[in-house]
């Protein structure tokens, strides 16, 4: 997911980004960084895919389900339908006679084009479980947009109203039952898997639809970044910690840089000087664009501080490694060059706004991410709910409902509430991921389990395994698999006793 809505970042196809909103009037970032695994980032780091339009191997078959537009109303309009995309891989499927399990990847705020290849947890472990793999696309993303293009769907305020998480998980429920029927697999247990916003959906799905999902793997799901459960500066505090841990001097340089930028920008010819110093592709009109760009670069590097590249270390290597005599801004720029490569110029303008997520944050997914003065290595940018609401009202004509997520799904006193009620959820987090500040980091019960890694990043555990993976990552995935195996074994035993099944 992204964070505040005003600064969007530039890696494209969805999976996780920060968003620079086009409508920011104030300098304050109201960004809500995207949650999903960032495709570009994965590409850059692993070179497993070179293209966003890669064709999938033929064992992945694409289907479209005729989905109900509105699951919660019986008025005639609610019976409209749209085509929802899903992808199936039955190569490893053990068959319905053995009630082999189904792994269902719940799509997040992006198209699922590349998920079958990038979310390798499913394919990597399918043979061991003889699992059927299903990838479901979230409504209003990719090819699952009700009525035409996303721009059109979002312009229509009635249609836009059906774009929310409750409808999305209801889609998943209906579609998964359809898949079970198609595969004549009434007793196959389903494990739902998701990352980031999709991880939140996976955990909420298990709570709402226990008769459909036996368990959930919720990777990097910041389900506690709502209301005031998590301090506003949780996200940026972890970005700060990551840089400080990588290098104290790097952290200090970044911390010192903001006021220097402001000071220079306020002088005559200061903006021209900064434009030249940072080799910006077009001349700077103010310092806030530059600061926003640096801010997002550091946040993204921390969120995706993945092995083997470790982008935070790369940036700090540039900053600390600048030649003797470099001033603070030379060092900052050297960090950018180390991270982005040596380019003829740097495009610091925000990337394209992610329309769908922008709407979601302006309606339901209000995550108050901000920071005060001196509590992080960044300049002060508190989250102002009032300003956020004003921005959203201007853009969409309706006010966000910041307390709806906790009303509908809960979140407050999570251990007290869930430890006797819920079961079978893995909350996995890498503690270098800024979103882990709002993750479930402690076991809530014997089967609501927190699996964390000290040096892990956002959604790392559900990505395809690599030969370069550190041992701690492999161990994290194995632990998750063993937990899931335990749930399934218990389920089969229950099935036998309670349903007098005919298992083989
Ligand atoms: C990207 O995909 C297109 C179409 O499949 C292909 O022609 C092109 O060579 C690919 N680009 C790279 C860099 O692999
Ligand atoms: C599944 O079980 C049915 C009924 O016992 C049997 O007819 C069928 O051949 C089995 N299918 C497989 C793939 O084993
Ligand atoms: C500054 O403003 C000009 C004119 O509006 C615009 O073309 C240019 O892209 C802006 N520069 C930046 C870095 O935003
Ligand atoms: C800074 O300049 C950009 C590009 O010209 C503009 O979009 C933005 O509104 C300006 N920000 C402020 C705070 O003036
Ligand atoms: C910079 O100066 C320090 C201390 O004088 C020296 O140890 C270091 O080798 C120099 N680095 C470079 C790149 O010249
Ligand atoms: C970056 O590229 C420019 C021009 O291509 C070159 O002059 C410069 O030495 C390069 N800098 C580094 C650090 O490689
Ligand atoms: C933040 O730090 C600066 C520099 O140390 C100091 O001048 C300022 O008073 C501090 N602000 C707050 C709110 O503590
Ligand atoms: C995590 O990273 C730190 C800093 O790079 C390193 O000192 C530590 O050994 C790592 N811990 C693990 C468990 O890999
Ligand atoms: C199913 O129930 C029948 C009759 O109650 C019993 O004889 C049989 O052992 C049961 N089968 C299993 C697999 O539990």
Q: For 290-348, how does the pLDDT look when each residue is reduced to its tens digit (9 = 90+)? A: 999 999 999 999 999 999 999 999 999 999 999 988 999 999 999 999 999 999 999 99
Ligand 9 and 394: CB distance under 6 A: no
Q: Whose CA is nearest to atom 7 of ligand 2?
A: 97
Q: For 209-268, how does the pLDDT look when each residue is reduced to its tens digit (9 = 90+)? A: 999 999 999 999 999 999 999 999 999 999 999 999 999 999 999 999 999 999 999 999
Crossing angle of the two packed helices 287-303 and 311-321, in degrees rounded to 10: 130
Taking residue 230's Cβ as centre, other Cβ atoms within 10 Å add up to 21
Which of the residue ranges 16-25, 401-410, 469-478 would you say has the lowest mean pLDDT? Answer: 16-25
Taking residue 60's Cβ as centre, other Cβ atoms within 10 Å add up to 18
pLDDT value of position 47: 35
Q: For 388-410, how does the pLDDT look when each residue is reduced to its tens digit (9 = 90+)? A: 999 999 999 999 999 999 999 99
Q: For 116-131, how does the pLDDT look when each residue is reduced to its tens digit (9 = 90+)? A: 999 999 999 999 999 9
Can you say how many angstroms the Cα of residue 468 is from the centroid of all Cα atoms in its chain? 23
| Ligand 5 center from residue 324 Cα (angstroms) | 6
Can you say how many angstroms the Cα of residue 262 is from the centroid of all Cα atoms in its chain? 32
Q: Whose CA is nearest to atom 13 of ligand 8?
A: 454
Query: For a substitution probing ligand 3, which of 265, 271, 285 has the most ligand atoms within 8 Å of its CB?
Result: 285
pLDDT value of position 32: 53
pLDDT value of position 27: 30
Which residues have any ligand 7 atom within 6 Å of their CB? 373-374
At 53, is the pLDDT very low, low, confident or very high (cuts 50, 70, 90)? low
Give me the domains of the chain, ranges plus CATH numbers.
60-227+410-502 (3.40.50.1820), 236-401 (1.20.120.980)
pLDDT value of position 200: 98
pLDDT of 488 strictly over 60:
yes
pLDDT value of position 187: 95
Average pLDDT rounded to a whole number, residues 204-212: 98
Catalytic pick from 433, 436, 457, 461?
A: 433
Q: Which ligand is nearest to the CA of 326?
A: 5
At 192, is the pLDDT very low, low, confident or very high (cuts 50, 70, 90)? very high
pLDDT of 34 strictly over 70:
no
DSSP string over 261-319 = HHHHHTSTTHHHHHHHHTTBSS--SSHHHHHHHHHHHHHHHHHT--TTT-HHHHHHHHH
Tokens 């329309």, residue located: 355
Ligand 9 and 504: CB distance under 6 A: no
Average pLDDT rounded to a whole number, residues 38-46: 39
Q: Output the average pLDDT for the chain.
A: 90
Phi, psi of 443 (to 5 degrees): -55, 140
Q: Whose CA is nearest to atom 5 of ligand 1?
A: 54
The verdict on whether 275 is a catalytic residue reads no
Ligand 2 and 95: CB distance under 6 A: yes
Distance separating alpha carbons of residues 498 and 492, to the nearest angstrom: 10
Ligand 3 and 289: CB distance under 6 A: yes
Q: Is 413 left (phi over 0), alpha (psi -120 to 50) or beta?
A: left
| Ligand 8 center from residue 306 Cα (angstroms) | 13
Read off the tokens for 221.
């799901």
Average pLDDT rounded to a whole number, residues 371-400: 96
Query: For a substitution probing ligand 7, which of 233, 255, 373, 382 has the most ligand atoms within 8 Å of its CB?
Result: 373
pTM for this structure? Answer: 0.89
Ligand 2 and 410: CB distance under 6 A: no
| Ligand 9 center from residue 487 Cα (angstroms) | 23
The verdict on whether 158 is a catalytic residue reads no
Ligand 9 and 500: CB distance under 6 A: yes
Percent pLDDT > 70 in the chain is 88
Average pLDDT rounded to a whole number, residues 173-181: 98
pLDDT value of position 499: 81
pLDDT of 90 strictly over 50:
yes
The verdict on whether 433 is a catalytic residue reads yes
Taking residue 413's Cβ as centre, other Cβ atoms within 10 Å add up to 9
């Amino acid at each position: 997911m992204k964070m505040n809505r005003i600064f969007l970042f530039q890696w494209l196809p969805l999976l996780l980004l920060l968003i620079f909103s086009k409508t920011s009037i104030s300098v304050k970032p109201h960004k809500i960084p995207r949650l999903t695994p960032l495709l570009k980032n994965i590409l850059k780091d692993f070179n497993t895919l070179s293209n966003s339009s890669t064709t999938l191997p033929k064992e992945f078959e694409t289907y479209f389900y005729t989905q109900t537009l509105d699951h919660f109303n019986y008025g005639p309009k609610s019976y409209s339908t749209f085509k929802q995309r899903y992808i199936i891989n039955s190569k490893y499927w053990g068959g319905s006679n053995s009630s082999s399990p189904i792994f269902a990847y719940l799509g997040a705020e992006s198209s699922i084009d590349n998920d079958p290849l990038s979310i390798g947890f499913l394919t990597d472990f399918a043979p061991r479980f003889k699992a059927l793999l299903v990838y479901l696309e979230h409504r209003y993303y990719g090819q699952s947009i009700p009525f035409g293009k996303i721009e059109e769907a979002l312009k229509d305020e009635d249609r836009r109203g059906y774009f929310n998480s409750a409808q999305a998980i209801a889609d998943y429920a209906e579609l998964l039952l359809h898949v079970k029927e198609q595969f004549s697999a009434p007793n196959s247990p389903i494990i739902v898997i998701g990352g980031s916003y999709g991880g939140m959906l996976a955990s909420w799905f298990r709570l709402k639809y226990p008769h459909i999902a036996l368990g959930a793997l919720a990777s990097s799901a910041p389900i506690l970044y709502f209301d005031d459960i998590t301090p506003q500066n949780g996200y940026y505090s972890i970005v700060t910690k990551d840089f400080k841990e990588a290098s104290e001097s790097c952290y200090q340089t970044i911390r010192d840089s903001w006021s220097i930028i402001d000071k220079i920008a306020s002088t005559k010819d200061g903006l021209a000087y900064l434009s030249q110093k940072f080799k910006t592709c077009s001349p700077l009109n103010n310092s806030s664009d530059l600061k926003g760009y640096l801010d997002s670069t550091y946040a993204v590097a921390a969120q995706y501080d993945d092995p083997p590249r470790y982008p935070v270390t790369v940036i700090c290597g540039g900053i600390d490694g600048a030649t003797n005599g470099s001033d603070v801004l030379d060092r900052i720029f050297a960090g950018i060059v180390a991270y982005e490569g040596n380019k003829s110029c740097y495009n610091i303008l925000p990337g394209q706004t992610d329309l769908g997520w922008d709407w979601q944050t302006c309606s339901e997914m209000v995550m108050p991410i901000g920071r005060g003065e001196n509590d992080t290595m960044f300049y002060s940018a508190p989250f102002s709910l009032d300003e956020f609401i004003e921005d959203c009202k201007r853009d969409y004509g309706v006010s966000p409902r910041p307390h709806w997520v906790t009303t509908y799904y809960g979140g407050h006193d999570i251990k007290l509430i869930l430890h006797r009620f819920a079961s079978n959820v893995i909350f996995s987090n890498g503690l270098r991921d800024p979103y882990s500040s709002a993750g479930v980091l402690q076991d809530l019960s014997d089967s609501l389990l927190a699996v964390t890694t000290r040096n892990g990043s956002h959604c790392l555990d559900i990505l395809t395994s690599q030969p370069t993976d550190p041992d701690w990552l492999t161990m994290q995935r194995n632990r998750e698999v063993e937990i899931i195996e335990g749930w399934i074994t218990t389920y089969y035993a229950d099935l036998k006793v309670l349903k007098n099944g005919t298992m083989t």
